[in-house]
Amino acid sequence: MSAVEQQPGPHGVRRAVVTGAFAVLVVLAAGLVLLALQPRTTTATATLTVTPRTEAGADAALLLADRYTALAGSAEVLAAARGDEPALAEVPLGELQEGVEVARPAGTATVAVQVTLPDGDTAVAAANAVVGRLVAAGADEELVDVARGREASPARTTGSSSAARWVLVSVLLALAAGLCAALASALLTGGRAAGRSAGGRAAEADAAVVDDLPAFLTDPPGSSADPPRATVPPRAPGTGATAVSRTVPRGAVSRAAGSAATLTAALLLVLAAVAVGAPPGHAGSSSPIAAAVDEVGPTLTAPDATDPETTTPDPSAPTSTAPDPDVTAPADETAAGALALRSVPLGTDGVAATAAFGGVVLEERAVGLTVTYPSVSLTTDGRRSLAHVRLPTWNCLTAEPPADPVAAGCARSITEYADLPDPQLQVTRDGDRIELTGLFPTYTRPNGGPPGYTGRAYQLAASIGPDGPRRNGSTPATGVVRIGLDSASTAPERGVSRLQHPG
């Protein structure tokens, strides 16, 4: 039997095609059933803007935006928003907390509140209710205006993006399963055909092993008492059974190549399904939060005519832009500004503190001083802590840091920032009083470029405590900050100092 005869016939090919198609339908149906069982979610986004009313409020806008970012995800604010909005009465508080995501993009005082819930109208109501509660909490702000940005609406919601990915993944896996099933069917059909062919050849060979007819004719039975033993003459080449070539049939080579190609295609389909099914990243302008902030537009937090990026410093003032402290910033894997938008959820026992301080001498010059007016914000839940520090620097021709550097004729220099989490940040609480200390590596935010470390770090300690009765979870605050050897107390004219207790 030739090699061509061992190839699966039309019946085998038809069986392989049917088997592959059946596997495709089964896997695709299973994927669609699982998709139908997945819960549907809708995401709505509303924004809150913090706009300075005065020049003093410009320095506090970022810090206040950080505080409202932390408050938006707190249990107290979410519970109050749930109570304000009747549409949220049936939504458990835990589900609402899990569905809320809050962020403040760098360089803005816009807080985006994103709520993801199964019902679209409920998600819209929840996002607007949370922002409304924050606006009500900021009604008493003196230096900044806390207002709604873009309201959430049903037309602006986004559905769950997993449905399309799941369908595509199901199709790719179904095709891979179909190819594998068709290949297995073809191999089984070809194996059975080859087994039958080999069995037929073996039977023919066994039948031609002994041919005793010539001996029977020469010496019939009874012709001799001791007949000679019959011998089998050697078989001539080309007689008897059909000779089989020992070379590998071309059909076998083609089957091996086809099997390898089919398995490779199935593997590529599986890899494509894995790549498509991987969850997308949340960073970038494609996220709903980034899109919401881009549509509203950035809210500048320091519209100061003396900003160093937009004005030329006074040539008569000292030219140094910052001191050279003894301690330099330690090497850190965290990128500059990577923690600027982060905050610690307050939970039930946390606290958010914001404080603006008077002038502190960073370095004495031969002529004049380099001073700063620190602003500090802190969020902690009792275990984790994160602090943000803003250090606008000025070069002054005075003996002491002036109360108003602009009126004193000081030349504004760069503004440095610092973000420090625990365990580098040490936070202790004594009742409502908070004390924090740490070595803060600073960075700058140049226009047109990413934040970059300055190579400087300041040993900063601050003590912040209540300065009045608590009302609606908020308490006026007072405190002292120390940088190096100099210290200063809170200055109401520089910004807001406040403690927020959501629990």
> Domain limits of the chain?
4-38+162-235+253-277, 42-159, 304-500
- Write out pLDDT tens, residues 389-408: 999 999 999 889 998 999 98
Architecture of the domain made up of 42-159:
2-Layer Sandwich (3.30)
pLDDT value for 80: 87
Strands (DSSP E) contained in 11-167 are 42-52, 100-103, 110-117, 144-148, 158-159
User: Model-level pTM?
Assistant: 0.44
**Range name among 98-112, 340-354, 361-375 with the lowest pLDDT average:** 98-112
| SS3 (DSSP) at 284 | coil
Question: Is the model's pLDDT at 8 over the cut of 60?
Answer: no
Residue 291 pLDDT level (bands cut at 50, 70, 90):
low
- Write out pLDDT tens, residues 257-290: 767 777 788 788 788 777 766 655 433 334 555 5
Higher-confidence residue of 222 and 415: namely 415
- Write out pLDDT tens, residues 162-201: 666 667 777 878 787 877 877 777 777 766 655 555 555 5
**Range name among 9-13, 71-75, 145-149, 365-369 with the lowest pLDDT average:** 9-13
* CB atoms inside a 10 Å sphere around CB 328: 13
**Range name among 137-151, 316-330, 366-380, 458-472 with the lowest pLDDT average:** 316-330
| Cα 427-401-371 angle, rounded to 5 deg | 60
| SS3 (DSSP) at 18 | helix
- Write out pLDDT tens, residues 203-257: 555 555 555 666 666 666 666 555 555 555 555 554 444 444 555 555 555 667 7
Residues in the chain, total: 503
Q: CA-to-CA distance for 330 and 497, rounded, in angstroms?
A: 30
Higher-confidence residue of 106 and 310: namely 106
